[in-house]
Structure 1
Amino acid sequence: MRKVFLITALFLVMALTGLIIWLPYLWWIALLIIPFLLLGFMDYFQKSDNIKRTYPLLGRITNLLEEQRHVLQETLLLNRTEGMPFNWIQKEIVYKRAADANKSQPFGTQLSYEKLGREWFVHSAFPSATIQDDFRVIIGGPKCYQPYNASILNLSGMSYGSISKNATLAFNGGAKIAGFAQNTGEGGLTPYHQKYGADLIFQFGTGYFGCRNENGDFDAKKFSEIARNDLVKMVEIKISQGAKPGFGAILPAKKNTEEISKFREIEAHTEIHSPAHHSAFGNTKELVEFIKKLRKLSNGKPIGIKLCLGQKTEFEKMVKILVEMQDYPDFIVIDGAEGGSGAANMDSLHWGGTPLPEALHFANKTLIDYNLRQYIKILAAGKIISSFDLYKTLALGADACYSARGMMFALGCVQSLKCNLNTCPTGITTMNPSRVASLVVDDKKTKVANYHKNTIEGLKEILTSMGLKDRKGISKENIFKRINETDEKSYGEIYN
């Protein structure tokens, strides 16, 4: 093939030369062909790509199809039940709820009840007529002086830098309208998190962005200034994240703009790796002392930790020490291994951590076993999209939930999987000004609020179908899962 290209190219060069000499008015044909010939010669002589070297010019088509493979699959090839991490049915639920559009569907489910792992809920023969529940939860233990009355569904941590300015603004506006909390993510508190006055959960991780000193360690004074902001209702220490547990975080250089670097107090246009470990503490006892310090610096606001469950014996040991010290966080966020991220280590993304159902059940059970459950609230995150997802998560022991990718779909995310490349076509996860401008804040903040409102309404409908009048009746016994071709088990049996 390489020889064929070389012979063809030489023939074309000779032909074009003759064409220009004898028919000069057809010079434009040469202008069209010469660029392709140059690309072909570049492919012919380069050494890094086998396909392009073997098939000059034509090999570029293969590369293009590989790069856009996911986009082609999503838009042309996959049916409604296919697609990962989310299929079209899941995305459509969010799109319709966000648009406050027709939320019905015809002709029966396309999700096979015979498929291994298929889940469903069971209803009552006598549905209830009304629901008497505000779907909020008070977060704050005995040593918390400013407990927070949180929605049971909130925006998961997404930093400005991971997502764009307009995405941050739209989330803030939507949270204000619908009355839920916006988690800042670990990228620091910015004016875009405060624009519309929504409740905030200030999160920081190992980089201590927004509250770090010159060496990158925790700065108490800067933290106190943020934590005492009236809009900040809770503080969340990120120990680990579902998509990259124990691996730290990455901010690609392309997304590290001058403005973002100022908020994070880092060097602009460089790839930033937050370490996997905290410098402020290195074990549970030191963590408890650190929480005490934060509670004082924040004037008694709820202080919690976020982690992806790893070694179960280590978590149980942590709980034992909390009992011994008689001090503990006000809340624990359990992030499932199926959680997402703008940029994550490939090994950790696919194989690190414990999935949310198993992790949430274990954490809840452990806290109950050690008589701490009444003092520590549990929040959960990990592919929570639908009202059924919300019900399942509450049934497994969560008091409240986070959603990140569900909220992103409400902004118009199309799952192009370009979050880490700064080329997001919807303006959500890119810093490219022209693409960010395509995300209209006034429209999208309403869609975010609609999605939250209609997801809570969907949960109400599930509860009434079960004959329940409030969420106190939520139970693992009302969810079933197919475990083989002929048998199913309730969540109560699976997570005993």
Structure 2
Amino acid sequence: MRKGFIITAVIILVALFATIFWFPFLWWAGLIILPILVLGLVDYFQKSSNIRRTYPLLGRITNFLEEQRHVVQESLLLNRTEGKPFNWIQKEIVYKRAANTLMNQPFGTQIPYDQVGREWFTHSTYPANQINDDFRVLIGSSHCSKPYSASILNLAGMSFGSISKNATLAFNGGAKIAGFAQNTGEGGFTPYHQKYGADIIFQFGIGYFGCRDAEGNFDAKKFTDIASNEVVKMVEIKISQGAKPGYGAILPAKKNTKEIADFRDVEQGTEIHSPAFHSAFGNDVEMLKFISDLRTLSNGKPIGIKLCIGQKDEFESMVKTFAEKQNYPDFIAIDGAEGGSGAAHMESLHWAGMPIIEAVHFVNGILKNYGLRDEIKVMAAGKIISAFDIYRMLALGADTCYSARGMMFALGCVQSLKCNLDTCPTGITTMDPSRVASLVVSDKKTKVANYHKNTIEGFKELLKSMGLENRKGINKKYILRLMNENGTKTYQEIYPN
């Protein structure tokens, strides 16, 4: 094939020059054929791709299909239940609710009931007539002087820089319209988080972006300036996240623009390394001291921690310390191992951390065992899309939920999986101005608000169908899972108290 290509190329070149010599008016043929031959010769002599070297030109088609494999599958090949991480049915739920359009479907479910692992809820013979619940949760322990009333569905942390300016603005506008909280992510507190006046959960992580000194350590004064802002309702310390628990992070130099550098308190154009551990504390007792300091600096606002559950004994030891010291965070945000990230290490993405269902049940049980369940609220994050997803989390013990990718679908995300390449086609996870401009804030903020509103309405209808008038009746016994070909179990049986 390789030798044949060279022979063919030589023949074509000779024929091309002969044709142009005898028929000068066909000069344009050279403009078409010469670039193709040049590409073929480049393929022939390059050494990085075996396929292109063996099959010049044709190998490029294979490489292109490999690079666009997910896009082709999502667009043309997969049925409604096969897409990953989210299938079309899940995406369609968000798209329809965001568009506030026809939110029903004919001809029955396409999710087979005989598939092991299939879950469903049990309805009542006598549905409830009305719902008496505002679906808000007061977050703030007895140590907190300014508790916050949060929606049961909020925007999970997504930093400006990992998402675009327009995406951040649309989320802020949507959160304000629908009345839920926007988590800043660990990339700092920006004017885009303040534009429309939505409630803000200020998150900082191991890099202390937005509240760090020149050496990268926590800066109390900068934190106080942020925490004292009226729109900041709670503070979240990120210890770890679902997609890469226990791993550090890198902000590439090419993404570290002047604007991002200013918001993150770093030097423009440099590669920023965030370690996997905090410099402000290194054990449970030091963390409690840090939380107490933050409460004072924020003038009594709720302070929480975010983590993905790993080694169970470590978490239980942490909660035991909370009980012994009678000091604790106001909330714990649990990130499931199935959580997303713009970029994560291969091993951590696929194999690290506890899944959200197991994690929420575990955390709820440990807090109960040490008598802290009424003091510490639990927030759950990990592929929360539908009202059924919310019900599962609340039944297992969560008080509220976070959604990131669900909210991204409301912005128009198509799951192209290009979040880490700065080539997002929808303008959500890119800093490319031409792509960002594709995301129209005035339209998308309304769609984000619609998605939240209609999901809460869906949750109300779900509760009514179960004969429940409020959240107090939520119970694990109302969820069933097909365990094998011969039987099912309720969540109460699978996850006993």
Q: TM-score, normalised by structure 2?
A: 0.99
* Structure 1 residues not aligned, in runs of 5+: none
The residue aligned with 1:135 is 135
| 1:221-266, Cα deviation, whole Å (9 max, x unpaired) | 0000000111000000000000000012343444332211111122
Offset of residue 11 of structure 1: 0.7
Offset of residue 194 of structure 1: 0.1
Alignment pair present for 1:198 and 2:198 = yes
Alignment pair present for 1:50 and 2:50 = yes
Once structures 1 and 2 are overlaid, which stretch shifts more, 413-422 or 247-256?
Answer: 247-256
The residue aligned with 1:372 is 372
The residue aligned with 1:21 is 21
- The answer as to whether partners of 1:207 and 1:216 remain within 8 angstroms in 2 is yes
Once the two structures are superposed, the pairs formed by residues 287-366 of structure 1 within 5 Å of their partners are 287-366=287-366
| 1:418-437, Cα deviation, whole Å (9 max, x unpaired) | 00000000000000001100
The residue aligned with 2:175 is 175
Amino acid at match of 1:52: R
Once the two structures are superposed, the pairs formed by residues 250-289 of structure 1 within 5 Å of their partners are 250-289=250-289
**2: CA distance between counterparts of 1:259 and 1:27?**
50
Once structures 1 and 2 are overlaid, which stretch shifts more, 326-335 or 245-254?
Answer: 245-254
**1: CA distance between counterparts of 2:43 and 2:125?**
69
Offset of residue 20 of structure 1: 1.8
The residue aligned with 1:40 is 40
**1: CA distance between counterparts of 2:40 and 2:108?**
52
Q: TM-score, normalised by structure 1?
A: 0.99
Once structures 1 and 2 are overlaid, which stretch shifts more, 332-341 or 10-19?
Answer: 10-19
The residue aligned with 1:439 is 439
Shift in alpha-carbon separation, 1:190–1:391, aligned structure 2, 3 A: same
Offset of residue 267 of structure 1: 3.2
Alignment pair present for 1:455 and 2:452 = no
- The answer as to whether partners of 1:162 and 1:251 remain within 8 angstroms in 2 is no
Offset of residue 387 of structure 1: 0.4
Amino acid at match of 1:419: C
Offset of residue 181 of structure 1: 0.3
Matched positions, count = 496
The residue aligned with 2:429 is 429
**2: CA distance between counterparts of 1:278 and 1:175?**
30
The residue aligned with 2:245 is 245
Q: Secondary structure at the match of 2:27?
A: helix
The residue aligned with 1:413 is 413
**2: CA distance between counterparts of 1:334 and 1:270?**
32
Once the two structures are superposed, the pairs formed by residues 76-95 of structure 1 within 5 Å of their partners are 76-95=76-95
- The answer as to whether partners of 1:156 and 1:182 remain within 8 angstroms in 2 is yes
The residue aligned with 1:113 is 113
Q: Secondary structure at the match of 1:80?
A: coil
Amino acid at match of 2:328: Y
**1: CA distance between counterparts of 2:236 and 2:195?**
21
| 1:48-92, Cα deviation, whole Å (9 max, x unpaired) | 111111111111110000000100000000001110000000000
Once structures 1 and 2 are overlaid, which stretch shifts more, 50-59 or 408-417?
Answer: 50-59
Q: Secondary structure at the match of 1:334?
A: strand
Shift in alpha-carbon separation, 1:481–1:253, aligned structure 2, 3 A: farther
Q: Secondary structure at the match of 2:316?
A: helix
- The answer as to whether partners of 1:98 and 1:449 remain within 8 angstroms in 2 is yes
The residue aligned with 2:188 is 188
Amino acid at match of 1:131: I
Once structures 1 and 2 are overlaid, which stretch shifts more, 273-282 or 233-242?
Answer: 273-282
| 1:145-164, Cα deviation, whole Å (9 max, x unpaired) | 10001111000000000100
Offset of residue 134 of structure 1: 0.2
Q: Secondary structure at the match of 1:435?
A: helix
- The answer as to whether partners of 1:251 and 1:343 remain within 8 angstroms in 2 is no
- The answer as to whether partners of 1:162 and 1:255 remain within 8 angstroms in 2 is no
The residue aligned with 1:402 is 402
The residue aligned with 2:475 is 475
| 1:305-345, Cα deviation, whole Å (9 max, x unpaired) | 00000000110011111111110000000100000011111
Once structures 1 and 2 are overlaid, which stretch shifts more, 262-271 or 457-466?
Answer: 262-271
Shift in alpha-carbon separation, 1:270–1:487, aligned structure 2, 3 A: farther
**2: CA distance between counterparts of 1:474 and 1:255?**
45
**1: CA distance between counterparts of 2:371 and 2:379?**
18
- The answer as to whether partners of 2:211 and 2:265 remain within 8 angstroms in 1 is no
Offset of residue 270 of structure 1: 4.3
Identity of counterpart residues, as a percentage?
A: 73
Once the two structures are superposed, the pairs formed by residues 1-16 of structure 1 within 5 Å of their partners are 1-16=1-16
Amino acid at match of 1:447: K
The residue aligned with 2:385 is 385
- The answer as to whether partners of 1:254 and 1:422 remain within 8 angstroms in 2 is no
| 1:118-154, Cα deviation, whole Å (9 max, x unpaired) | 0000011000100000000000011111000111100
Offset of residue 27 of structure 1: 0.8
Offset of residue 271 of structure 1: 4.2
**1: CA distance between counterparts of 2:460 and 2:57?**
58
Amino acid at match of 2:361: H
Amino acid at match of 2:329: P
**2: CA distance between counterparts of 1:250 and 1:180?**
30
| 1:446-469, Cα deviation, whole Å (9 max, x unpaired) | 000000000000010010011111
Amino acid at match of 2:398: A
Shift in alpha-carbon separation, 1:254–1:105, aligned structure 2, 3 A: farther
**2: CA distance between counterparts of 1:289 and 1:296?**
11
Shift in alpha-carbon separation, 1:72–1:270, aligned structure 2, 3 A: farther
Q: Secondary structure at the match of 2:315?
A: helix
**1: CA distance between counterparts of 2:19 and 2:144?**
85
- The answer as to whether partners of 1:240 and 1:248 remain within 8 angstroms in 2 is no
The residue aligned with 1:73 is 73
Amino acid at match of 1:261: A
**1: CA distance between counterparts of 2:408 and 2:248?**
23
Q: Secondary structure at the match of 1:483?
A: strand
Once structures 1 and 2 are overlaid, which stretch shifts more, 372-381 or 11-20?
Answer: 11-20
- The answer as to whether partners of 1:151 and 1:179 remain within 8 angstroms in 2 is yes
**1: CA distance between counterparts of 2:255 and 2:242?**
22
**2: CA distance between counterparts of 1:253 and 1:175?**
31
**2: CA distance between counterparts of 1:427 and 1:269?**
22
Q: What value does the CA root-mean-square deviation take over the aligned residues? A: 0.8
Amino acid at match of 1:356: I
Alignment pair present for 1:99 and 2:61 = no
